[in-house]
Structure 1
Amino acid sequence: MIRINIYLAIVIFSFNRIKCEFLRSKGCVTFQEGTTWEFDNDQAILPSVVSSELCATHCFENERCLGYTWYSFIEGSHNICILFDELRNQQSCENCVSGTGPADIPGSCEIEEENLIDYFSAASESECYQLCSQDEACRFYTWFDQSAILFKNECFTFTSCEKVSSCSDCKSGGMSCLDFTCPEYRVLNDPTRLMSHGQGNYCDSMDKNSEDYTTSPDWFGPGWYRFQLPAGGETMPDSTENLGYCGATSPGWVNGHHPSQAGEMRNETVCFKLFNDCSLGRDVSILNCGSYYLYYLLDTPACNLRYCST
């Protein structure tokens, strides 16, 4: 009976989806780099797990798992997956990605009045879980596995799951959002950092290589920084800029993309234009803190270069 109900709902939903567009992104944060939980000897440790996605799959297949941490490298070992049956005392970690497992629901969420958000193809329950996390309205999901006849590898996302029907070829769960805390940071608020400001003699380096240049008044060496007024907007430009702006000779721009989800971090390159668009570069980590971005910035490679805001 549940299969018939879902099929009819899909027909109606597909027609309505042509007329409306659902909100995406900034949903439930289910994974984050650089954080984990207190570890004890009761936690399962899995060696030779080659990716954080595979570690997440192990967590979903373990009924006791509430969260996982995958280390690309820790204490001389590579590709370590830790499964947690209790999440306590969140703390920072290096070379790590952590995520939550779902709140398991026995059966399939039934479709009721307007509780179906969307449906997708998904190769695994963990993929379905991540699809749900990307929609701010999604709180529950049902995923049908490869043995399903009618909805093989299909993921259904819901706003509510008040009624449940039994099934042998599906898994359902509720979202377990990850509480994340952004690190402490310094503020870049010098108004000359604006791309609309002209040339100057500032640079973002504690080791000045010329008496003709001055270390920026809001620069304190490598660390996490946030752009704030009166320095303009809270992001760095993501396209190449001309020389002679931002209170320096060579303004910096992000040669890549900013992370789209809260708690997500991306490693990109800040380029400085001299002889070409990216004559010199510095690695940068960009962290989405929900309402603002943080940048882990290093000293610029020369003292006519500066990090700018737009």
Structure 2
Amino acid sequence: LLFHIESAYCKPQPTTDHYPWDNQGFKDNRGTMDDRGSFRCPSVYRVLNQAWRNVNHGRGNPIRCDRGFRGEWYRFMGPAGTQMPTQSPGTMNVCGTYAPMWMNGTHPTVADGEVSRQACAYWQGNACRYPTTIQVKACRAGYYVYKLPRVPWCSLVYCGESGFTGCHEYYASGQRASGCPPVFANCPDGRLL
């Protein structure tokens, strides 16, 4: 399933707060900036929205595997969650598979540009078995995209979890906070920025 981001957008309300995807005060030395002053995110990516992919979902049947991934950009959405977990699930047999994959590291800000992180599989008590390098970007619109390669073997699956969506976690005055920041005002057509 491919998803193309519309070029139209709604302008945020003025604010002095800084969000993880805010790049004010940074020069264009870590990525290409667009005409709105934000670092570009891929305009085409694959959507991962399967409920079985969520870290709160059991193993299920059939056992899933991400061997078909080819290093493209992916975004977690819907029942799959909104981001990759940054902590080991601590157990096997979740995310529709035997060995769930999670991201060992923090999510970047927009100003960080594209960053490398390590994805790990939880397998038989080892939280970081089969380490795999992935790429991650924070998008100005308030979501993350991940460049995910083929997993080293089956049955490994990249997991999702509910987390940062723009209205759950944000930075206010340099501090992490929760709620819905004012920058996410509903657009006239019902979309969120």
Q: TM-score, normalising length from structure 2? A: 0.63
Q: Aligned Cα RMSD in Å?
A: 2.4
C-alpha distance in structure 2 between counterparts of 1:32 and 1:247, whole Å: 40
Correspondence for 2:66: 204
Distance 1:226 1:274, change over 3 A: same
Identity of aligned residues (%): 35
Deviates more, 1:256-265 or 1:235-244: 256-265
**How many Å apart are 1:260 and its aligned residue?**
2.5
> 2:122 corresponds to which residue?
273
Q: 1:30 aligns with which of 19, 27, 31?
A: 27
Residue of structure 1 in register with 2:48 after alignment: 188
The aligned runs of 1:216-295 (5 Å cut-off) are 220-232=69-81, 234-241=82-89, 242-261=91-110, 264-275=113-124, 276-290=126-140, 291-295=142-146
**What's the secondary structure of 1:277's corresponding residue?**
strand
Larger Rg: 1
- Look up the equivalent residue of 2:128 and give its one-letter code: C
Query: Residue 178 of structure 2 corresponds to which residue in structure 1?
Result: none
Of Structure 1 and Structure 2, which has the larger fraction of its residues in strand? 1
Query: How many matched pairs?
Result: 137
Aligned to 1:55: none
CA distance in 2, matches of 1:181, 1:24: 18
CA displacement at 1:27 relative to structure 2? 4.4
Question: 1:300 is matched with which residue?
Answer: 151
Q: Indicate if the aligned counterparts of 1:30 and 1:178 stay in contact, CA closer than 8 A.
A: no
Q: Which has the higher contact order (CA 8 A, sep 6+)?
A: 2
- TM-score under structure 1 length normalisation: 0.41
More helix by share: 1
Seen in structure 2, the aligned counterparts of structure 1 residues 187 and 262 have a Cα distance that, compared at 3 Å, is: farther
